[in-house]
Structure 1
Amino acid sequence: MKLLHVDASILGAHSVSRAVSAAIVHRLEAETPGVEIIRRDLTAAPLAHLSGGHLAAAAPDADVSAETRAENAEAARALDEFLQADVVVIGAPMYNFSIPSQLKAWIDRVLVAGRTFRYDENGRVVGLAGDKRVIVAVSRGGFYGADTPMAAFEHVETYLKAVFAFIGVPDVEFVVAEGVMAGPGLREKALDAALQDAGRLKAA
């Protein structure tokens, strides 16, 4: 089994989402002998944000700079990592109600027509990545659950559910650390609860 571990937090060792995603990977590794882990840290080695230049480089007669060629090659490696993975674990903190831009750059390189989705003869989307298990470690500074006044501001779980459903993965699993900046002691409480949830995950 191949497991792709993706992190997007800018906080390094102080990151809650990184701590939870690492716990998820550790749990699955313990449950699955021989698992191969592929690591992609989107802060330490960010992918270039998708641009018109990157798209234009695909044209046969395109005049492509060495920088753009290298960026597209790295993006292709990121897509191949995703396609080859059986399980994808993502650390996704909430920044200003949504995902970090580093994670969006990765998603823009993973959602590729003909590779992870296609359109059928009726124009309907067909996901091509439905053979994967996706688990997301989410950290949120406040409280944004479905039963809270701020629920409408939550665009991490909702967005990622839509992204992965589009490419054929309708049942994304979320491990959430909620309210980590909402008051004294809440960070530790939220992290502890999320780590316990991570520890209960099954290999399949």
Structure 2
Amino acid sequence: MKLLHINASPRGEKSNTERVAAAFLASLKEHHAHAQVDTVDLYNDDLPAIAGDNIEAKYTLMVGRPISRDHAESWAQIERAIEHFLSADAYLLATPMWNFSIPYALKYYIDCIIQPGYVFRYNEIGQAVPLVHGKKMIVVSSRGGDYSPGSPMNAFDFQEPYLRAIFGFIGVTDVEFITAQPMDITPEIREQALGVAIDRARMLASRPDWASVTADRLRVNPLGLKPQPLVDEPEGAL
């Protein structure tokens, strides 16, 4: 089993979110020694631009037209990021809550990998069809306040609903959240919340099902598959 650790915190070892993620990874290694872990550090790894040639290629794909050869080299960077994402069987997404939602680096990464023809497609009546199957995701999140269900701040939690929606859109529906909150009240309350989150992270990583890969894993879009053949785009085309 290959796990992709997506780190969306810029604080490194000082990150509360990464403390919980580290506990998950340590427990995973202890209970599932065969598991492979790869990491995407969204604040230190280079991500391809979602602009220029790549934005033109994206909209070309969205209307069902072939990618121009002029855009092929640039678009290949997007494809490599998608292939890296798809190569994993499971995901550990570690992200703090920023302004009720997610950090800009994580949104940038999502905008990079969620592409038509690779992780979803549209059917003949225009409905979106997910192309990613048999994957699991753990989301580790830390919040300054308490946004738990029933709390006064719950209505401001746009992080969990968005992440469930965007990854569910491509077929990743087996998603569990480990949430450390509130973190900005007092040091005592912060450490207590971290302790609860770390205990849950260790428990989830120790489960036997984290060692398995479902048969649906084989239905994922083949790596490196281009949704349209390359052509020379005529002058003045979209």
Q: TM-score, normalised by structure 1?
A: 0.89
Number of aligned residue pairs: 199
Structure scoring higher RCO (CA < 8 A, sep ≥ 6) equals 2
Distance apart, 1:28 and its partner CA: 2.1
Change (3 A) 1:75 1:203: farther
Q: Which of 44, 63, 68 is 1:60 aligned to? A: 68
Matches within 5 A, 1:3-152: 3-48=3-48, 50-56=50-56, 59-60=67-68, 62=70, 69=74, 72-152=75-155
Distance apart, 1:151 and its partner CA: 0.8
Distance apart, 1:182 and its partner CA: 2.1
Distance 1:180 1:155 in 2: 18
5+ long unaligned stretches in structure 1: none
The answer to whether the Cα contact below 8 Å between 2:138 and 2:178 also exists between their aligned partners in 1 is yes
Change (3 A) 1:42 1:73: farther
Distance apart, 1:103 and its partner CA: 0.5
Distance apart, 1:55 and its partner CA: 2.1
Aligned residue for 1:165? 168
Aligned residue for 2:225? none
Aligned residue for 2:233? none
Aligned residue for 1:178? 181
Distance apart, 1:186 and its partner CA: 1.7
Distance apart, 1:157 and its partner CA: 0.8
One-letter amino acid of the structure 2 residue matched with residue 78 of structure 1: A
- Measured against aligned partners, the alpha-carbon deviations of 1:142-191 in whole angstroms (never above 9, x if no partner) come to 11111111111111111100011101122311111011112231221111
Q: Which moved more, 1:48-57 or 1:117-126?
A: 48-57
One-letter amino acid of the structure 2 residue matched with residue 86 of structure 1: D
Greater Rg, structure 1 or structure 2? 2
Aligned residue for 1:197? 200
- Cα RMSD after superposing both structures: 2.0
- Find the residue that maps to 1:199 and give its secondary structure: helix
Distance apart, 1:9 and its partner CA: 0.7
Runs of 4+ aligned structure 1 residues displaced above 3 Å come to: 61-64, 72-75
Distance 2:193 2:172 in 1: 27
Distance 2:157 2:26 in 1: 28
Change (3 A) 1:41 1:63: closer
Distance 2:202 2:99 in 1: 28
Q: Which moved more, 1:78-87 or 1:54-63?
A: 54-63
Distance 2:46 2:208 in 1: 29
Q: TM-score, normalised by structure 2?
A: 0.77
Change (3 A) 1:155 1:46: farther
Change (3 A) 1:81 1:123: same
- Find the residue that maps to 2:118 and give its secondary structure: coil
- Find the residue that maps to 2:199 and give its secondary structure: helix
The answer to whether the Cα contact below 8 Å between 2:141 and 2:180 also exists between their aligned partners in 1 is yes
Q: Which moved more, 1:10-19 or 1:74-83?
A: 74-83
